[in-house]
Amino acid sequence: MDVVVFSKNQVDVVQQELDETRTLSLHHVSYVVKQGAGPWWKGACLRPVISKTVLNQITMQLKSGQITALLGNSGSGKTSLLDVISYRSSGSVTGKVYYNNHEVTKAIIQDHASYVMQADRLLPNLTVRETLLMLLTHGSEVKIIRGISGGERRRVTIAIQLLQNPDIVLLDEPTSGLDSHTARHLVKSLADMAHNGKIVLLTIHQPSSDIFKLLDQVAILTSGELTFCGGTNELVPYFSKLGYPCPHYMNPLDHYIDLSSIDRRDPSLEVKTTERQQHFIRSFIASSINIETERTVLEDTLQSSNGKQLWSNKRTLGLSYLRVIYTIISRMNVNLFRDRKDYCSRIFFLPLYMLFILIFLGRLGNKQSSIQDRVGLMYQSATVPPFIGLLNAVALFPVQRNIFYRECRDGLYSIATFLIAYTVHIFPFLVLSTIIFSSIIYWVTGLYPTAERFGLYTATIFFLQLWGETLTVLFLGIFLDPNLANSTTALIQTAAAVIASGLLKNVATLVKPLEWLSWGFIHKYSGEILIANEFQDLEFSCESLAATCIPNGTIYLDLYYPESPDHMKRNFAVISSYCLWTLIFAMVAFKIRGIRNLY
Ligand SMILES: Nc1ncnc2c1ncn2[C@@H]1O[C@H](COP(=O)(O)OP(=O)(O)OP(=O)(O)O)[C@@H](O)[C@H]1O
């Protein structure tokens, strides 16, 4: 075994680093959001924009080794403060945040902080062990979806963030949904973690007096301003000095949160409590506690240019790009595999539809009437696969997307990585379901009987299904609500099939604007491929000597789809690149709409 010998100097440096208290300082941080007022139908330009100050001039300092609770009534700005610190806010932020005297950037926060949000967004079919294993550690074998309680889900969510070994831990309502015993136990663990050198900041709605004892520092927010921020031992003496002692047997936190809030039950109470609130805010600004904090934070500000060590515990995944993609795909696969309904729908949704077609059409034969049946079958072949892609995406993509939003905000991987991983994940399922579908439908209905034509038909169905799913993913990037994405994609797919496939109405007979529009839809190219692939060289029997008899498919193509056999290669190149472009547009849509802050 190699023995590493450190010099005294090196030991001193390490010791000095360990002894050094790290700080997260906020200096006059304000946060303003803009909201459109009035009815939505007036549009963005006509609606007056109202600015709302969510946080006003917040100055506070959090130290490693301390656990701080952010308290306040509902709407006081607790979550917004965590959002501002973690670079998740959507409005305009002024003031400065420093970590260890370095002005905080998004990269610093992503490297050093973890944010546990209010909502537990976990893949339902993974076990606790697998959920954590995807972030490389051990867990239990219980499935998330049914096997664990709400409180346990909370703890898994917290564990996911802690596994990344952050220096700063921000937690929004970590105790919500937990019974008082478990909540106390959890805060105790967080306090222990803080005492081992982390900066811990959490929001709590109704902290019990047991929890109060575990805290080192508390900050009380009201209407976005501080009425107190200091050590827990300073809380009661501070307010007592202001003339508001805490009655015996009352939880001081409950008492002072109540006193800091505005009571809107009647106008006279509202005036009285607003005056008291303003008195508290002014008093705290003038208090020695706040002046001391201002002084130390200002010192940090001045020191910042000296470049005090940014703590060494930089949080990185430490995985190669391929390893990250592999981990995401494995997680998607395991989650899908565990749910029989989802797994079967991925593979058998499309083939199941074939049963309906088979019963409806039967064997096509070569009579004149089979021309109409063939066109009908090609229309179904062009429209059903994208629709199945849509159904699968709406059912299965949103849960993955919501987890991606959280992990992307944590800086774990990018939009492109996620969408590439999702496409690779669905690829084998699309191949399998397409092959099952086309192998049966093609040979049982009796389409043009060569392997080459069958292969072309199968490949077209595959690309249509892939396009349908990718297009839905694109709209799920634009709209958070899956129903909205569903209806929009369905509308586009229907319009594309009606206008461009040429299977309902000959494209050449469309009014000019619609004819031009048809060039923009995949159905124009896939429709031509499917028809030319089927009709070229096909012989039909003429039951009577009627003038309308079409003796072979080549004549039919000349009449209704001229030149389509010559366009086969072009059309095929277009439909395959359509999928690629839709995926790229999906990435752009996610980028433009931004990574949502899902609470
Ligand atoms: N992006 C935004 N647009 C409009 N209003 C916002 C935005 N973000 C926050 N607010 C408003 O700011 C106020 C503070 O919200 P915040 O969620 O921070 O409160 P909170 O103290 O965490 O409340 P709760 O305890 O209920 O979670 C609320 O009135 C909220 O509606």
Q: Which atom of ligand 1 is nearest to the CA of 83?
A: 18
Looking at residue 199, the DSSP 8-state letter turns out to be E
What Cα–Cα distance (Å) separates residue 125 from each residue in 161, 166, 340, 402? 19, 27, 10, 15
Distance of alpha carbon 264 from alpha carbon 581, whole angstroms: 55
Report which protein residue has its CA nearest ligand 1's atom 28. 75
| 220 and 351 part of one domain | no
170 occurs within a structural domain: yes
55 occurs within a structural domain: yes
| 194 and 234 part of one domain | yes
513 occurs within a structural domain: no
Which of 305, 335, 367 marks a domain boundary?
Answer: 305
| 87 and 190 part of one domain | yes
Ligand 1 site residues (CB inside 6 A) read 33, 35, 52, 54, 72, 74-80, 90-91
Please count the other Cβ atoms lying within 10 Å of the Cβ belonging to residue 462: 22
Question: What is the per-residue pLDDT for 596?
Answer: 81
Provide mean pLDDT across the span 428-457. 95
Which of 305, 333, 366 marks a domain boundary?
Answer: 305
Using most ligand atoms within 8 A of CB, pick from 29, 58, 76, 480 the residue to mutate for ligand 1: 76
Question: What is the per-residue pLDDT for 162?
Answer: 74
350 occurs within a structural domain: yes
Question: Would you say 385 and 350 are in contact if contact means Cβ atoms under 8 Å apart?
Answer: yes
Using most ligand atoms within 8 A of CB, pick from 33, 80, 92 the residue to mutate for ligand 1: 80
Report which protein residue has its CA nearest ligand 1's atom 26. 74
Question: What is the per-residue pLDDT for 104?
Answer: 87
pTM (predicted TM-score): 0.73
Question: Would you say 370 and 377 are in contact if contact means Cβ atoms under 8 Å apart?
Answer: no
pLDDT exceeds cutoff 50 at 137: no
Report which protein residue has its CA nearest ligand 1's atom 5. 33
523 occurs within a structural domain: no
Q: Which atom of ligand 1 is nearest to the CA of 80?
A: 18
Question: What is the per-residue pLDDT for 1?
Answer: 37
Question: What is the per-residue pLDDT for 311?
Answer: 47
Ligand 1 center–CA 265 separation, angstroms: 21
The residues with which 97 forms a beta bridge, in sequence order, are: 26
| 326 and 277 part of one domain | no
Domain containing 473 equals: 321-494+568-593
Ligand 1 center–CA 75 separation, angstroms: 5
111-129 pLDDT, tens digit each: 888 888 776 666 666 666 6
Distance of alpha carbon 60 from alpha carbon 281, whole angstroms: 14
171-213 pLDDT, tens digit each: 998 888 778 888 888 899 889 989 988 999 999 887 888 888 9
Q: Which amino acid belongs to residue 566?
A: D
Distance of alpha carbon 382 from alpha carbon 69, whole angstroms: 58
Place of tokens 């806010």: 89
223-246 pLDDT, tens digit each: 999 999 999 999 999 999 999 998
pLDDT band at 401 (very low <50, low <70, confident <90, very high): very high
| 75 and 180 part of one domain | yes
Q: Is the C-alpha dihedral spanning 164, 134, 183, 69 positive or negative?
A: positive
pLDDT exceeds cutoff 90 at 280: yes
457 occurs within a structural domain: yes
Which of 305, 329, 345 marks a domain boundary?
Answer: 305
| 227 and 367 part of one domain | no
Q: Which atom of ligand 1 is nearest to the CA of 89?
A: 1
Provide mean pLDDT across the span 486-505. 89
| 464 and 367 part of one domain | yes
Query: Any idea what the Cα angle at residue 190 is, between residues 189 and 196, rounded to 5°?
Result: 90
Ligand 1 center–CA 564 separation, angstroms: 59
Ligand 1 center–CA 224 separation, angstroms: 9
Structure tokens at 321: 């790009």
Question: Strand 66-72 and strand 199-203: pairing?
Answer: parallel
Report which protein residue has its CA nearest ligand 1's atom 12. 54
Number of structural domains the chain divides into: 2
Ligand 1 center–CA 189 separation, angstroms: 28
21-60 pLDDT, tens digit each: 888 999 999 999 987 777 767 766 777 778 889 999 999 9
| 292 and 337 part of one domain | no
What is the average pLDDT score of the chain? 85
Ligand 1 center–CA 442 separation, angstroms: 57
Ligand 1 center–CA 293 separation, angstroms: 26
| 33 and 180 part of one domain | yes
pLDDT exceeds cutoff 80 at 332: yes
Question: What is the per-residue pLDDT for 13?
Answer: 47
Distance of alpha carbon 194 from alpha carbon 186, whole angstroms: 12
518 occurs within a structural domain: no
| 301 and 328 part of one domain | no
| 363 and 218 part of one domain | no
Query: What ipTM goes with this model?
Result: 0.96
371 occurs within a structural domain: yes
Place of tokens 């409806």: 360
Q: Which atom of ligand 1 is nearest to the CA of 72?
A: 21
**Domain holding 78: CATH number?**
3.40.50.300
Ligand 1 center–CA 203 separation, angstroms: 13
| 325 and 296 part of one domain | no
Distance of alpha carbon 265 from alpha carbon 242, whole angstroms: 25
